[in-house]
Amino acid sequence: MVSFWSFLLSYPEVFLAIACFFCLSLFRLVRHCHKSDLPVNWPVIGMLPFLVRNLYQIHDSVTDMLREAGCTFRIIGPWFLNMSFLATCDPATVNHCFNTNFNNYPKGSEFAEMFDILGDGLLVADSESWEYQRRVAMQVFASRAFRSFSMS
């Protein structure tokens, strides 16, 4: 007697139809039960449908998401990209990450590769390099010549 799995593997169309049926059923169930506007973390694609669906108004959608989540939310990308990030609009969290404990949150080599076009500037620098560049930038921003260019 032929087992169920060998039957499905010998007929990939049947396997694909069953898989699509279960995915659509799961989507319908999650959509029916999920009353909040927070994005759903799907098993393989992560929160990519949320980002694609709201691409034309991504800033408004992320703002609404942060408002509902309580100012901080982890956005999970597809597993094959291995890319997830933390979005926050909480001033205390931003102060903690960028001022109080900056050395505890290194950007890492992946961040430098993504933003390689920026070079070794202040936005992608870590530790001593960042401190040196920030000191130089603060001197420039504090000068009267620079302030004369800004609008008052």
50 CB-near residues (< 8 Å, 6+ apart):
39, 40, 61
Tokens at 28, concatenated: 């319908």
Model confidence, pTM: 0.55
- pLDDT of the residue at 127: 72
Instruction: Look at residue 92 in the predicted model and tell me its pLDDT.
Output: 92
pLDDT of residue 152: 58
pLDDT of 148: 76
Do 105 and 124 form a contact (C-beta atoms < 8 A)?
Answer: no
- According to the model, what pLDDT value does residue 81 have? 83
Distance CA 141, CA 146 (A): 6
Residue-wise pLDDT for 109-140, tens only, equals 777 777 766 666 666 677 777 778 788 888 88
The residue ranges of the chain whose pLDDT is under 70 are 1-2, 8, 31-36, 116-124, 151-152
- Alpha helices per DSSP H over 34-126: 48-53, 58-69, 91-95, 108-114
State the pLDDT at residue 57. 93
List pLDDT tens digits, range 26-36: 777 776 666 66
